[in-house]
């Protein structure tokens, strides 16, 4: 009798193991297909940047570097890239400073209506970008502030500010306040406490929110499209307008360079973040 029960158990276990194996295989496939789907448009863009023909035939009949040559001959893209870089850096810096101070108040001060204030400061996230874009268009036109990069930079500060406040506030909540109190007891002024005690502890939050803000600013189309007039196009708008007219792989060549650029920016940010963690571990 007991052997029969044992046999049944062994069989049940084998069945369970087979089912487990099948589930494993299915889930691995799902993961592979999911990652493949996510990466597919980026991979195809890189492949097509080396295509020898204009139109999207798969597979490309032959390989060529001519689209890179064509891209380099187009000065507007180069200038737009530099413009976008300056705008993203300026907007990120301004938003980091004002956002850090604002986040400090949101986390450390107590007053009535704080949740309302938080909601207000974070509300640009849900505001449709095209609505903001038209709003800025009318606003800057009324002010007579048109063209150049100043209006676009000011607009981007508002676009990225909520992301920065949100991430920095989340980082500040976790801090041990007794460290700061100890420093103040030892005679440190408030700015010193902020610079020497608070900032080093939220360094990764500063890097991540800064990186996110940079990327978000660098990718603005709707919010800025009414603020550009050709001479001051940002890179995504230059690409968007080019794509409305032409669909040749020049955009693919540019996109490949941008993918490379994004990779470098992220790798650099990771290295900086990793480096600070390492330093902190060594000095501890």
Candidate residues 74, 85, 86, 104; the one interacting with other proteins per rule CB under 8 A: 104
Residue 35 as a binder of other proteins (CB under 8 A): the answer is yes
- The answer for residues whose C-beta is within 8 angstroms of residue 26's C-beta and 6 or more apart is none
- Determine how many CB atoms are found less than 10 A away from the CB of residue 245: 6
Residue with Cβ nearer other proteins (122 or 276) = 122
Question: Could you give the CA distance from residue 270 to residue 284 in angstroms, rounded to a whole number?
Answer: 21
Binding segment for other proteins (CB under 8 A), chosen from 4-12, 72-80, 107-115, 275-283, is: 107-115
Question: Could you give the CA distance from residue 251 to residue 245 in angstroms, rounded to a whole number?
Answer: 11
- Which single residue is written with the structure tokens 């487990």? 20
Segment 214 to 233, residues that bind other proteins, using CB under 8 A: 215, 218-219, 221-222, 225-226
Write out the two tokens for 94.
């301004």
- Determine how many CB atoms are found less than 10 A away from the CB of residue 26: 10
Segment 183 to 212, residues that bind other proteins, using CB under 8 A: 184, 190, 193-194, 198
Q: 187 — alpha (psi -120 to 50), left (phi > 0) or beta?
A: left
Residue with Cβ nearer other proteins (86 or 158) = 158
Q: Is 248 helix (H, G, I), strand (E, B) or coil?
A: coil
Candidate residues 124, 170, 272, 276; the one interacting with other proteins per rule CB under 8 A: 124
Candidate residues 2, 62, 75, 110; the one interacting with other proteins per rule CB under 8 A: 110
Residue 161 as a binder of other proteins (CB under 8 A): the answer is yes
**Residue 34 CB, nearest approach to other proteins (Å):** 4
Q: 175 — alpha (psi -120 to 50), left (phi > 0) or beta?
A: beta
Instruction: Decide if 99 contacts 168 (C-beta within 8 A).
Output: yes
Write out the two tokens for 135.
């709003």
Segment 45 to 74, residues that bind other proteins, using CB under 8 A: 45, 48, 55-58
**Residue 51 CB, nearest approach to other proteins (Å):** 9
Segment 80 to 99, residues that bind other proteins, using CB under 8 A: 94, 97-99
**Residue 208 CB, nearest approach to other proteins (Å):** 12
């Amino acid at each position: 009798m007991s052997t029969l029960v044992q046999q049944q158990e062994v069989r049940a276990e084998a069945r369970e193991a087979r089912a487990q194996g099948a589930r494993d295989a299915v889930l691995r496939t799902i993961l592979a297909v999911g990652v493949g789907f996510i990466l597919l448009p980026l991979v195809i863009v890189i492949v097509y940047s080396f295509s020898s023909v204009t139109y999207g035939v798969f597979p490309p009949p032959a390989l060529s570097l001519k689209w890179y040559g064509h891209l380099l001959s187009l000065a507007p893209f180069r200038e737009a890239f530099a413009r976008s870089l300056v705008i993203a850096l300026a907007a990120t810096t301004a938003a980091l400073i004002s956002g850090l101070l604002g986040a400090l108040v949101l986390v450390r001060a107590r007053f009535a209506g704080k949740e309302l204030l938080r909601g207000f400061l974070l509300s640009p996230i849900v505001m449709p970008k095209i609505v903001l874009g038209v709003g800025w268009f009318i606003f800057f036109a009324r002010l007579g502030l048109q063209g150049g990069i100043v209006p676009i930079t000011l607009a981007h500060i508002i676009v990225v500010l909520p992301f920065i406040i949100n991430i920095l506030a989340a980082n500040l909540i976790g801090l041990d306040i007794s460290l700061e109190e100890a420093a103040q007891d030892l005679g440190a002024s408030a700015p010193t406490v902020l610079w020497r005690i608070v900032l080093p502890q939220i360094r990764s939050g500063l890097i991540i929110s800064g990186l996110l803000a940079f990327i978000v600013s660098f990718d603005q189309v709707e919010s800025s499209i009414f603020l550009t007039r050709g001479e001051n196009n940002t890179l995504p708008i230059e690409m968007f307008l080019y794509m409305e007219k032409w669909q040749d792989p020049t955009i693919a060549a540019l996109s490949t360079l941008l993918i490379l650029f994004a990779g470098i920016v992220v790798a650099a940010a990771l290295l900086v973040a990793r480096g600070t963690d390492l330093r902190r571990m060594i000095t501890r």
